[in-house]
Structure 1
Amino acid sequence: MPQPSREIGGRPVVVTGAASGIGRGLAQRLSKSGSPVAIADIDRSA
């Protein structure tokens, strides 16, 4: 059985908790790598 690819760049992703901290950093990094990113957070002000 082939091993699944660990490469995420270019694949669509959803990041929750993306208003700050690790979630925000992850969303930014994935976006820079070419992935379309959908973000969500309960903190509307951020």
Structure 2
Amino acid sequence: MPTAIVTGASRGIGYALSLALGREGAHVVAVARTVGGLEELDDEIREAGGSATLVPADLKDF
């Protein structure tokens, strides 16, 4: 199973990309500042039969 790391995954293009990759069978490592958005994304990916790891983080802190 391929793994994809997506930053900005809680909304917009990052959200759509994460969902599409999850639907295609990739394990998605979703990184975003907004926990609520990540949890919503995780629910949608799992409903589509995919899997995800959620990483709530602000990348400017690194």
TM-score, scaled to structure 2: 0.53
The alignment-based identity, stated in percent, is: 30
Matched, 1:28 2:19: yes
RMSD between superposed Cα atoms in Å: 1.2
In proportion to residue count, which structure has more strand? 2
Query: Structure 2 regions of 5+ residues with no counterpart?
Result: 38-62
Which fold has the larger relative contact order, with Cα–Cα distance below 8 Å and residues 6 or more apart in sequence?
1
Stretches of structure 1 that go unaligned for 5 or more consecutive residues are 1-9
TM-score where L is the length of structure 1: 0.69
Q: How far apart, CA to CA, are the structure 2 residues paired with 1:19 and 1:25?
A: 9
Q: Which has the higher helix share?
A: 2
Give the structure with higher Rg (CA): 1
How many residues align? The count is: 37
